Amino acid sequence: MTSQVITCNALFLEKNLELLVSFVYAHNDVVDRAPLWNYCLNLSSTTSPWCLLGDFNCVINLSEISGGREHFTPGMQAFQDCLAGCGLNRVRTVEDNFTWTNKRLLNPVFKCLDRMVANGAWFNLFTEGNVFVKPRSIMNHNALLFNEPMQLQRIGKPFQFFNYMIEVPGFHNEVAKAWSLFCTGSPYARFACKLKELKVLLRQLNKNHGNVSSNVLVARANLEELQVNMLNSEDASFLSVENNLIKALNLALAEEESLYLQKSRVK
């Protein structure tokens, strides 16, 4: 820790790697910032992923200034030399380029005083990292938020056989299809091969059959819709249709009960 920077060791848990993170609050005066640049040059020999972020109290070029006196200064040159000597580059920033304003109503000044820079090892580790410039609220500086989009891994659910599947139309055909598959190897290897194929077929059968709870809702809605229509009709054919819909609802209810009974593991 110095008067202008605090450097921390951080552990990136996902890959069990140590990082260096330096939080900067540079002096206003160009001469007083010189020790900060020297500190950065000394630390740049690290092979660890390293980033610096915060208020550098200086811009790199004139495009980072809007309003006020816009001319190249020795402070900008010193900042450029430090970044080049340390091998540091700005982390990709989303949206707003200016991170500070004097909030003056007449002829306001905007500058990019706050930034995040990092070495090559950091960019190799966080290839998709972005810096978001947050609203400044009551302050005259914007906060910076670094974000690395999570690389979500698709984790397959373990196969689980539900007992109600035995009564689903097509179940026995799928079992017969898997068991007729030609496999080579020992009896155990052939058995495992057929089971593996059967899992794929049963997963698809279960998917085509639909969600059991949704099936209950659909079956009940179909029955209730018919019974509403039956109130003002004496058509006897409705009774046959009603009987079939009642059977469909009872079957859906039995499947749902079987599923929840199996999941609850109640004997």
Question: pLDDT per residue over 207-254, tens digit each?
Answer: 898 899 999 999 999 989 888 888 776 677 788 888 999 999 999 999
Q: What is the pLDDT of residue 96?
A: 62
* Cβ contact 145:91 at 8 Å: no
Q: What is the pLDDT of residue 155?
A: 63
Task: Copy the structure tokens of residue 179.
Answer: 């068991």
Q: Residue 97: what are its φ and ψ, rounded to 5°? A: -90, -30
Q: DSSP letter string over 171-215? A: HHHHHHHHHTS---SSHHHHHHHHHHHHHHHHHHHHHHH--HHHH
Q: What is the mean pLDDT of residues 34-58?
A: 94
Q: In the predicted model, is pLDDT for residue 150 greater than 70?
A: no
- The pLDDT tens digits for 51-76 are 999 999 999 988 888 887 778 889 99
- 114 membership: H or E segment, kind and range: strand 114-118
Q: In the predicted model, is pLDDT for residue 152 greater than 60?
A: no
List domains and CATH numbers for the chain: 5-147 (3.60.10.10), 163-264 (no CATH)
- The pLDDT tens digits for 83-121 are 999 999 999 888 767 899 988 888 889 999 999 999 999
User: Measured in whole angstroms, how far is the alpha carbon of residue 253 from the centre of its chain?
Assistant: 37
Q: What is the mean pLDDT of residues 118-137?
A: 89
Q: What is the pLDDT of residue 3?
A: 95
- The pLDDT tens digits for 167-204 are 888 999 999 999 998 888 888 888 988 888 998 899 89
pLDDT band of residue 156 (cuts 50, 70, 90) is low
